[in-house]
Structure 1
């Protein structure tokens, strides 16, 4: 796919999802960081259900550190990998307080040094929290990048590199949000329906499927 086609693709997605944004609920950069750590291998719905009681009680690194792993687990136990995530979050709180005055660092290397924070998490925090034009590659972004021909690659790091090359600067701040919404609600891993897709002309996927609404069967 060339840059002109990529630009047209994102223009159409921006019209389809004009208010595309993270579905995680948070009020501060610290809460964003915690929510993204919790979201690994978990749905945004389950994370929001947990943080709805967690954040009002422990809104800051200091408060959460004092709660400890047991206090944290009381709120997140239904989230996948909860014990490991609780341990990582408490360690992260301690590092934030000791090394960053309790603030979330605006630096990729510093973010990735925090327990439970990988490249994708760092990209989300930099993008959502600091307005950096980073592109976070999750399962939806990776799938759509390959399926559409936008940035075909074998791993997420390569996908990110290719996306940063082909996505016009205008669309970079919201690129991963548009792709996530498209992947979550339209171009699903299974049972996708190309008749509902606004970028079907730009998409290079060879196995397009069109499901007539009236019959629900494949053409």
Structure 2
């Protein structure tokens, strides 16, 4: 697809996205970060760190990631791609000590602005500056990009694509299919005298710690701590 644009190139792509994207429409999308329960625990209080998420349209089922647990978040989308392989933004530790600066620099950044991710693969856009507005071929060429800027580009999205979400707040958890079925049978957890053992108990404990409900894949609430 393309080479690593480097830190400067990755930031330039995000600046161009911020300038040209339809942020009002993007704000309507559902965004879910997927991982295991322990990884999601580590995200508590880290709303400044950009998260990689899968997108879905409002009213549609969440785009899922295997048997992982999802953290449904709402924040500002700083970059959206039609396929995660076209962005390859990496993992949390890829933006840590050594790779992004000294211990002091990384600690200061984590406390101030959080960890900001960026694409590490990119097409060669050097000729795009020569395209002429109003020219049919040029207009089509200009939209031949792996990014989702507005609703008209949603059809290119594969399995939720990928969206980077910054300054996010948690809305809920989406567990795996088996846990969803168990919670549905327990009357949204009202039939529980105490948190059960195993995966179900871990999910409920995490939901309590974050302070959010639990949802199924169709956005129906299946557990609430209230």
RCO comparison, higher one (Cα < 8 Å, 6+): 2
Band the TM-score falls in, shorter-chain normalisation:
under 0.3
Tell me the TM-score normalized by structure 2: 0.27
| Greater strand fraction, Structure 1 or Structure 2 | 2
